[in-house]
Structure 1
């Protein structure tokens, strides 16, 4: 295992960044780079330079290279011949397929909840939506998307199928990590919040048909907005949309 490089300063050593303090080095480097993509510190389309990342994380190039290969194999970054690695950007085909899969899995989980559960923690679900409401006003677009993800994963967990939840989490990560947020209109946040409330009310009433219809409509509305945004990005230089 490659150890972190320590740079002496006045007889002491600079410690590794906090994000690298525990766990295996390769996993830590992978998580650190992925988190920078998730937090939009590394934006879609950004070139990933081995030397720069190694210097920032205070490690050798080897674990950085291995982390980039793993992120590439998982589809979070792309490799362009003779140009290097870049943070991946989602295209219309991939986005549509991911949203179709998301709808199928969330509806499956919802049906399982109604089939197997007589009561569910409505206060917890409302609390998740409350966190989303706060995110609309106080956080950036990407953070709002992450809070929305938490709401939907919280609902899916009620079905008791861990593989469904893991797959949904991967879908959300791919959509959030690989999309640009420049030029994305903020109106979707309040609309989604109201749709969440309607879904929560249908769940509280144990109305399976209405819950499924609201959930499907909610996911399709989200896809519609993303589709519009992707078309805007295709027609404009993203740097002009900041």
Structure 2
């Protein structure tokens, strides 16, 4: 048994490394929606054999980020306006549902955690680290959800962010107003700190709807431009 465990560990480690590497490429738009994935090239870029890369692609297929076509290989899923709209609608439902529990459990430690997440987001905005800003935005919302103590809905929200940012991250990044997001996060924090549930719900709902509108508008323009260019 010990020999078997020792033998399997490197394979699992390489697969995880490949998985994280491909996730980074998706997030930074190095692999774009609708693209055929040449796993041999991926293996070369990641400095490993093809086997862990293929295993990692299977994990990503399970998450809905890539698909496998028999005798043709792996492809990233194409852009879907309906999917993005559904993700934001589901996000809004989850985040609003968690707010009452978050405020009921609120204490000094929770406020400090949320304040730190807000400050990290604002710092990333000021320094114009665009991809870092996107991650800090996610961290702020996930921190707020985690404070509710509801693990299942928190994990579901994390999976939605994964799908949204890994598949559409590059497009979302340049479709969202930084100033509006900063203002909304600060207003939301103030309402939560003051334990004002209705105010927090109003700001959060308006914020998510506004971001959804910007993202959908950006994606629609992008798809029209691609159609005109014949892609």
Report the counterpart of residue 146 of structure 1 in structure 2. Answer: 135
Question: Deviation at 1:151?
Answer: 0.5
Question: Deviation at 1:197?
Answer: 0.8
Poorly superposed stretches of 4+, deviation over 4 Å: 80-83, 182-187
What secondary structure sits across from 2:168 in the alignment? coil
Q: TM-score normalised to the size of structure 1?
A: 0.80
Report the counterpart of residue 194 of structure 2 in structure 1. Answer: 205
Contact 2:172 2:215 in 1 (8 A): no
For residues 209-234 of structure 1, the C-alpha deviation after alignment (integer angstroms, 9 at most, x for no partner) is 11111111111111111111111112
Question: Deviation at 1:47?
Answer: 2.9
Question: Deviation at 1:108?
Answer: 1.5
Correspondent of 1:134 among 123, 129, 137: 123
Question: Deviation at 1:120?
Answer: 5.2
Q: Is the deviation greater in 199-208 or in 83-92?
A: 83-92
Report the counterpart of residue 223 of structure 2 in structure 1. Answer: 234
For residues 11-38 of structure 1, the C-alpha deviation after alignment (integer angstroms, 9 at most, x for no partner) is xxxxxxxxxx996222222222122212
Q: In the superposition, relative to structure 1, how do residues 22 and 117 fare at CA in structure 2: closer, same or farther (>3 Å)? A: farther
For residues 141-171 of structure 1, the C-alpha deviation after alignment (integer angstroms, 9 at most, x for no partner) is 4332211000000111110112211111111
Contact 2:188 2:200 in 1 (8 A): yes
Contact 1:120 1:158 in 2 (8 A): no
Number of residue equivalences: 221
Question: Deviation at 1:83?
Answer: 4.5
Give unpaired runs (5+ residues) of structure 1. Answer: 2-20
For residues 22-61 of structure 1, the C-alpha deviation after alignment (integer angstroms, 9 at most, x for no partner) is 9622222222212221233333344321211122223222
What secondary structure sits across from 1:75 in the alignment? coil
For the pair 1:161 / 2:144, whether they are aligned, the reply is no
Q: In the superposition, relative to structure 1, how do residues 22 and 112 fare at CA in structure 2: closer, same or farther (>3 Å)? A: farther
For the pair 1:215 / 2:204, whether they are aligned, the reply is yes
2: CA distance between counterparts of 1:184 and 1:26?
28
- RMSD of the TM alignment (CA)? 2.7
Correspondent of 1:68 among 40, 51, 57: 57
2: CA distance between counterparts of 1:183 and 1:107?
22
Q: Which has the higher helix share?
A: 2
Give unpaired runs (5+ residues) of structure 2. Answer: 5-9
Q: TM-score normalised to the size of structure 2?
A: 0.83
Contact 2:67 2:75 in 1 (8 A): yes
Q: Greater relative contact order (Cα 8 A, min sep 6): structure 1 or 2?
A: 2
1: CA distance between counterparts of 2:93 and 2:141?
13
